[in-house]
Structure 1
Amino acid sequence: DTVAFELLYRNDHNRSGHITINSLCLSNGGIFPETHYPRFGQKVLKDSGFISSVLTRLINFQLFSRGIRDVFGPYTQPTEAEFWDMWTGIRFNDGNLVMDSILQYINQRLKHRERWVGALTSTSTPLHMIYGPLDPVNPHPEFIQLYQKLVQRSTLSVLDEHVSHYPQLEDPTGFFNAYLSFINSF
């Protein structure tokens, strides 16, 4: 979402070069710092420094899977093989060693809140939100109420009550159908 917000801002302010955004579909990202509740590991790692650089080297599959398990719904948990696929993706090319740098998006969302939320609230680009309501990172109803209040031009799809932070993984069919409905609406 962070990259999409910046590109939307640039698109709407003629600063994008040759990027044109015809529509934007969001899902369960921490759009608003005031309704975003990062997990414990994210909080620790987002403050770059010696401690976070040491912790990135200590994280193993068990710690990773335990932490990520908490942001999936109780009935939409990944299989052990899927957890291993996620972990393998993070470990590729030592990606786990830069997790503290990647998590800077949390600090950037606070720093650039007005710019990015302003882009969402003022754009004429068609917007849609596909949301998993069991998300502990962007909890319902707090997140959705703020989203609907501030991003009034957006349409919204709320998926099954058991879907959490990763709706595209937890309910791929529901997510796909919601997305198709959105892009077929214009």
Structure 2
Amino acid sequence: MREWWVHVGLICIPLVAVYLHIPPPQLSPALQKWHSTGKVFHFRGWKIFYRDSLGALGSSDVVILLHGFPTSSYDWSKIWDPLTQRFHRVIALDFLGFGFSDKPASVVEGLVAHLGLSNQRVNLVSHDYGDTVALELLYRSDQNRTSHLTLNSLCLSNGGLFPETNHPRLLQTLLKDSSFLAPILMRITNYMIFQKGIGEVFGPYTQPSDAEFWDMWTGLRYNDGNLVLDSILQYINQRLKHRERWVGTLTSTYVPLHMIYGPLDPVNPHPHFIRLYQKLVQRSTVTILDEHISHYPQLEDPTGFLNAYFNFIHSF
């Protein structure tokens, strides 16, 4: 794997100038529909895209969906409609593309305030990078740190909660740790490299279609999001720095917790990750999906993901 990336880099470095000026791809009809039904709110001078769908009548329940890296709120598209049949409001946003400390958590709090939900208990569903954002929100909510967010429940999925069981991909490591290589790699990474990298974290029987790969790539390239990947990836280092804060909150909270886990995940591999989670987070319930489901369970097995989540929500 490492040799393959080095080989690609040696081939592509002379092509940097070519990739510097390639315009982003056009939105597919599916992405265009997703985009057109969303809205934008302004947070500290930044435009934040979000979707907010009214759903089930007779319910006041709200769920907020937090996506992973390097994709977007579109990750939730396969389970969006079923969620609207269960919840009164289903909300998702695209995280800011300018690094990680407490910024993404503050964006979520800002959106909650913008939507008038500050006094309402909300349910969070998160994945990958979104799990780390969710832990910061859980910390603020539990500590009553003037948070706009009061959590009713938290459902995590395939995130690197524990640095000791997390294995970032080689390209992620190079982007977050190499100030020399990162600007080059961000510009020379093309669709073929992206497709191979993303494909490796899906199961062999649950690979995205060509159109789905292209939509992921389009979302990444939108507004030059590919050029700030090194900043966003600092969240991996932040996990180590704030491990006591985030894991400590996870192990001590009384907010209902659930983990939906795709066990073929090479980033958070089985059984080490789930064993440590069950050992440390004893109040949480866990669903382990079929053995061929990998890092993106909500896309690889939307029915299994929804069944697990609804069983959790109906259990308290």
Shorter-chain TM-score: what band?
Answer: over 0.9
Tell me if structure 2 keeps the 8 A contact 1:7–1:16.
no
Greater relative CO, 1 or 2 (CA 8 Å, sep 6+): 1
RMSD of aligned Cα (Å):
0.8
Give distance in 2, aligned partners of 1:16 and 1:184. 29
Please list every run of 5 or more consecutive structure 1 residues that lacks an aligned counterpart in the other structure. Answer: none
- The Cα shift of 1:48 comes to 5.2
Give distance in 1, aligned partners of 2:144 and 2:178. 33
Runs (4+) off by over 3 Å:
none
In structure 2, what is the equivalent of residue 123 of structure 1?
A: 253
How many residues end up aligned between the 2 structures?
186
Structure holding more helix per residue = 1
- The Cα shift of 1:18 comes to 2.3
Aligned-partner residue type, residue 160 of structure 1: D
Aligned-partner residue type, residue 27 of structure 1: S
In structure 2, what is the equivalent of residue 31 of structure 1?
A: 161
In structure 1, what is the equivalent of residue 122 of structure 2?
A: none
In structure 2, what is the equivalent of residue 20 of structure 1?
A: 150
TM-superposition CA deviations, 1:109-161 (whole Å, max 9, x none) = 01100100001000000000000000010000000000000000000001111
Give distance in 1, aligned partners of 2:185 and 2:148. 40
Give distance in 2, aligned partners of 1:152 and 1:158. 16
TM value normalised by structure 1: 0.98
Structure holding more strand per residue = 2
Report matched runs for 1:81-100 at 5 Å.
Answer: 81-100=211-230
Report matched runs for 1:1-186 at 5 Å.
Answer: 1-47=131-177, 49-186=179-316
TM value normalised by structure 2: 0.58
The structure having more radius of gyration, on CA atoms, is 2
Q: What's the secondary structure of 2:231's corresponding residue?
A: helix
Aligned-partner residue type, residue 29 of structure 1: G
Please list every run of 5 or more consecutive structure 2 residues that lacks an aligned counterpart in the other structure. Answer: 1-130
TM-superposition CA deviations, 1:73-97 (whole Å, max 9, x none) = 0101001110000000000100000
- The Cα shift of 1:40 comes to 0.8
- Give aligned-pair identity as a percent: 75
